[in-house]
């Protein structure tokens, strides 16, 4: 029996708001959350044991990075079976138990859908590469070589992989190149092939029928390439020493009109199951990002990830401007969202320091829109040095020494000060944060000055105050290091003031007479102290 009935098909009625508008998403990177079997890698049974922690934190949904069978060359983003669970993480029974246990605690569960590429070990690709006339040949993107001036073999076009190097890999057996926007072990799927598309939509049905509440969709803007695969133009701003990906503008390899059509189809499928959520990983400027909301008649993803806080400098003027620009870019039917960390981005506390990371947490959890909180940021895990012989990230290994390493953001959750921070009884697959004996969940639990308790307090306030959930956003002044804004409903007005600097500054005038609800710092002062964020409530 299908998990949805005709009555639910219409989704959410006009006057009701879907759960995810006021919900908070918590990203779990499964390799590093909790190990249960001593192999040094987190797994589903471990995550299930820690569900109470996530529920008590006060978030609404878990987005779980990939747990499907995979050779793990890109740590699960290279999938060899879209409808299974990798034995490293457990079994399908473990998954069914996990989803039931999450739902029992009122938590939604989102999986990671990786439609742009599979693993080169996926049976589809093994078939596709077996001969030029294999029925699955066209499920991937194969092209003849170009022949250079001296008769040498050249890739079909100039596209560069996001991990560096040509996006084409020569395949001796059938004498053609295949396209890989990421690693050579991640061949791109051909969404222009109707059978491939149908097979991928079936993957979504498989998991929706199992009860998942939605998906985060990996590199969605890459999913279709321009017909004819023309060369990409050079990027005039590129300089050696940064990611080679950026040497070209990805004009023909990403953000194609057909990709929008597919995302509308995926949305229609999700909507046929009722109240499910689609979050798209899309890295584009605001005007182009906004188009991924689709139209009112043909919506696309609910939340095209908004990475602007990760990609720009951290000062009140810039952040204030980014918020205004993003808010303005949203279509009338679009709902905002905010991201401060992920398994791909530097840790926020490493980037701006712990004192500012507390201000950033207040920002993330008081802006209008759905926040995504990355595991470990609630502990303000900062810089984690990774010794050269411990580096695991393929992006770092392909282009060493230019700061592309993602391992420091992927280190295990420190739970307590027992062996390996309670993460594993074995050897953790990546080192722990060096200060794990003091920076861990147990140590911060109940300590009112800790990042963990600040995060919990902010999440409680967000739940209690309708103005923080669905209230309007109004920017107030932005004066030197001060960023201030209001969140208002018809009967409540909250003022948030964030000091991005180290010097004390005057409170915003709009907070006068307000009741102080929460500060990022202990105690209180007449002024806004350095690195302090404060929320007031005004009545009447």
By the criterion CB under 6 A, which residues form the site for ligand GLC?
74, 77, 114, 182, 218-219, 281, 343-344
Question: Which residues within the stretch 485-524 sit at the binding site for Mg ion (CB under 5 A)?
Answer: none
User: Could you say which of ligand GLC, Mg ion, none residue 74 binds, taking C-beta under 5 to 8 angstroms by partner kind?
Assistant: ligand GLC
Based on the shown chain and the rule CB under 5 A, indicate whether residue 127 belongs to the binding site for Mg ion.
no
User: Could you say which of Mg ion, ligand GLC, none residue 37 binds, taking C-beta under 5 to 8 angstroms by partner kind?
Assistant: Mg ion
Closest contact distance (angstroms) between CB of 216 and ligand GLC is: 9
User: Could you say which of Mg ion, ligand GLC, none residue 218 binds, taking C-beta under 5 to 8 angstroms by partner kind?
Assistant: ligand GLC
Alpha helices in 129-256 (DSSP H): 194-209
User: Could you say which of Mg ion, ligand GLC, none residue 77 binds, taking C-beta under 5 to 8 angstroms by partner kind?
Assistant: ligand GLC
Closest contact distance (angstroms) between CB of 112 and ligand GLC is: 8
Angle at 413 between CA 410 and CA 419, to 5 degrees: 120
Q: Which is nearer to ligand GLC, 413 or 494 (CB)?
A: 413
* Residues 6 or more apart in contact with residue 306 via CB below 8 angstroms: 289, 326, 336, 337, 338, 339, 369
Pairing of strands 482-489, 492-499: antiparallel
User: Could you say which of Mg ion, ligand GLC, none residue 35 binds, taking C-beta under 5 to 8 angstroms by partner kind?
Assistant: Mg ion
User: Could you say which of ligand GLC, Mg ion, none residue 344 binds, taking C-beta under 5 to 8 angstroms by partner kind?
Assistant: ligand GLC
Task: From residue 357, give the alpha-carbon distance in Å to each of 415, 422, 452.
Answer: 20, 25, 12
Residue among 20, 25, 32, 35 that touches Mg ion (CB under 5 A): 35
Phi and psi at 138, nearest 5°, equal -80, 5
* CA atoms of 84 and 57, how far apart (whole Å): 29
Q: Dihedral, CA atoms, 279, 285, 287, 292, nearest 10 degrees? A: -20
Tokens of 530: 């350095």
SS3 content of the chain, % helix, strand, coil (to 5): 30, 20, 50
Closest contact distance (angstroms) between CB of 406 and Mg ion is: 20
Task: From residue 24, give the alpha-carbon distance in Å to each of 27, 31, 364.
Answer: 10, 22, 10
Closest contact distance (angstroms) between CB of 39 and Mg ion is: 4
* Cβ–Cβ < 8 Å for 471, 488: yes
State the residue number with the nearest CB to ligand GLC: 77
Based on the shown chain and the rule CB under 5 A, indicate whether residue 37 belongs to the binding site for Mg ion.
yes
Closest contact distance (angstroms) between CB of 35 and Mg ion is: 4
DSSP 277-332: EEEE-----HHHHHGGGB-SSSB--SEE---HHHHS--SHHHHHHHHHHHHHHS-T
User: Could you say which of ligand GLC, Mg ion, none residue 258 binds, taking C-beta under 5 to 8 angstroms by partner kind?
Assistant: none
User: Could you say which of Mg ion, ligand GLC, none residue 43 binds, taking C-beta under 5 to 8 angstroms by partner kind?
Assistant: Mg ion
Closest contact distance (angstroms) between CB of 75 and ligand GLC is: 7
Closest contact distance (angstroms) between CB of 90 and Mg ion is: 8
Closest contact distance (angstroms) between CB of 31 and Mg ion is: 9
Q: Which is nearer to Mg ion, 39 or 275 (CB)?
A: 39
| Binding-residue pattern over the window 204 to 243 for Mg ion, x denoting contact by CB under 5 A | ----------------------------------------
> Residue count at the site for Mg ion (CB under 5 A)?
5
Closest contact distance (angstroms) between CB of 77 and ligand GLC is: 3
Closest contact distance (angstroms) between CB of 181 and ligand GLC is: 8
Enumerate the active-site residues.
218, 281
Tokens of 145: 């070589």
Q: Which is nearer to Mg ion, 51 or 269 (CB)?
A: 51
Stretch that binds Mg ion, among 31-39, 54-62, 131-139, 240-248 (CB under 5 A): 31-39
Q: Dihedral, CA atoms, 195, 196, 202, 204, nearest 10 degrees? A: -150
Q: Which is nearer to Mg ion, 37 or 81 (CB)?
A: 37
Pairing of strands 533-538, 492-499: antiparallel
Three-class SS state of 487: strand
Q: Which is nearer to Mg ion, 45 or 154 (CB)?
A: 45
User: Could you say which of ligand GLC, Mg ion, none residue 41 binds, taking C-beta under 5 to 8 angstroms by partner kind?
Assistant: Mg ion
* CA atoms of 337 and 214, how far apart (whole Å): 16
Looking up tokens 């307590």 gives 416
Q: Which is nearer to ligand GLC, 42 or 514 (CB)?
A: 42
Based on the shown chain and the rule CB under 5 A, indicate whether residue 91 belongs to the binding site for Mg ion.
no
Chain centroid to Cα 258, Å, comes to 23
Tokens of 58: 């006060």
Q: Which is nearer to Mg ion, 419 or 509 (CB)?
A: 419
Q: Which is nearer to Mg ion, 31 or 291 (CB)?
A: 31
* Cβ–Cβ < 8 Å for 254, 222: yes
Based on the shown chain and the rule CB under 5 A, indicate whether residue 426 belongs to the binding site for Mg ion.
no
User: Could you say which of ligand GLC, Mg ion, none residue 330 binds, taking C-beta under 5 to 8 angstroms by partner kind?
Assistant: none
* CA atoms of 463 and 457, how far apart (whole Å): 10
Q: Which is nearer to ligand GLC, 305 or 436 (CB)?
A: 305
* CA atoms of 342 and 310, how far apart (whole Å): 10
Based on the shown chain and the rule CB under 5 A, indicate whether residue 43 belongs to the binding site for Mg ion.
yes
Based on the shown chain and the rule CB under 5 A, indicate whether residue 265 belongs to the binding site for Mg ion.
no
Burial of 468 (0-12, 13-18, 19+ CB in 10 A): buried
Tokens of 405: 């390493």
* CA atoms of 254 and 352, how far apart (whole Å): 31
Residue among 25, 41, 102, 348 that touches Mg ion (CB under 5 A): 41
Q: Which is nearer to Mg ion, 320 or 422 (CB)?
A: 422
Looking up tokens 């969404």 gives 191
Stretch that binds Mg ion, among 42-50, 103-111, 223-231, 379-387 (CB under 5 A): 42-50
Computed from CA positions of residues 25, 26, 30, 34, in that sequence, does the dihedral angle turn out positive or negative?
A: negative
- Residues lying near Mg ion in the complex (CB under 5 A): 35, 37, 39, 41, 43
């Amino acid at each position: 029996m299908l998990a949805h009935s005709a009555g639910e098909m219409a989704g959410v009625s006009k006057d009701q708001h879907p759960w995810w508008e006021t919900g908070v998403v918590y990203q779990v990177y499964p390799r590093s959350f909790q190990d249960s079997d001593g192999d040094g890698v987190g797994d589903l049974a471990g995550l299930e044991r820690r569900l109470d922690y996530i529920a008590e934190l006060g978030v609404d949904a878990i987005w779980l990075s990939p747990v499907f069978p995979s050779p793990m060359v890109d740590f699960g983003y290279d999938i060899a079976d879209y409808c299974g669970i990798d034995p490293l993480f457990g079994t399908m029974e473990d998954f069914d138990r996990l989803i039931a246990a999450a739902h029992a605690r009122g938590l939604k569960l989102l999986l990671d859908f990786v439609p742009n590429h599979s693993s080169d070990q996926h049976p589809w690709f093994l078939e596709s590469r077996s001969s030029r006339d294999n029925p699955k040949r066209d499920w991937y993107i194969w092209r003849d070589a170009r022949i250079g001036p001296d008769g040498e073999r050249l890739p079909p076009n100039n596209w560069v992989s996001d991990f560096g190097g040509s996006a084409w890999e020569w395949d001796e057996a059938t004498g053609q190149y295949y396209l890989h926007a990421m690693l050579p072990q991640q061949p791109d799927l051909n969404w222009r092939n109707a059978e491939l598309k149908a097979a991928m939509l079936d993957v979504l049905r498989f998991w929706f029928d199992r009860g998942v509440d939605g998906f985060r969709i990996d590199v969605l803007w890459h999913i279709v390439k321009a017909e004819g695969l023309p060369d990409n133009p050079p990027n005039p701003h590129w300089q050696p020493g940064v990611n080679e990906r950026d040497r070209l503008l990805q004009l023909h390899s990403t953000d194609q009109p057909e990709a929008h059509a597919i995302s509308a189809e995926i949305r229609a499928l999700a909507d046929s199951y009722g109240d499910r959520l689609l979050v798209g990983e899309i890295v584009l400027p605001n005007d182009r990002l906004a188009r991924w909301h689709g139209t009112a008649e043909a919506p696309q993803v609910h939340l095209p990830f908004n990475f602007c806080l990760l990609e720009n400098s951290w000062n009140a003027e810039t952040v204030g401007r980014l918020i205004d620009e993003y808010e303005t870019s949203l279509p009338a039917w679009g709902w905002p969202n905010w991201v401060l960390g992920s398994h791909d981005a530097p840790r926020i506390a490493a980037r701006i320091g712990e004192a500012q990371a507390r201000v950033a947490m207040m920002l993330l959890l008081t802006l209008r829109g759905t926040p995504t909180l990355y595991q470990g940021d609630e502990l303000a895990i900062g810089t984690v040095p990774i010794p050269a012989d411990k580096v695991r990230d393929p992006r770092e290994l392909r282009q060493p020494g230019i700061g592309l390493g993602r391992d420091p953001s992927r280190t295990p959750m420190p739970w307590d000060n027992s062996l390996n921070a309670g993460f594993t009884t074995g050897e953790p697959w990546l080192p722990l944060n060096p200060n794990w004996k003091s920076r861990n969940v147990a140590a911060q639990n109940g300590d009112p000055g800790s990042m963990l308790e600040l995060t919990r307090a902010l999440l409680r306030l967000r739940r209690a105050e309708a103005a923080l959930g669905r209230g309007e956003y109004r920017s107030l002044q932005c004066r030197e290091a001060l960023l201030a804004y209001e969140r208002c409903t018809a009967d409540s007005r909250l003022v948030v003031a964030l000091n991005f600097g180290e010097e004390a500054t005057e409170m915003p005038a709009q907070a006068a007479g307000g009741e102080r609800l929460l500060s990022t710092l202990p105690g209180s002062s007449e002024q806004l102290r350095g690195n302090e964020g404060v929320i007031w409530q005004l009545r009447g």
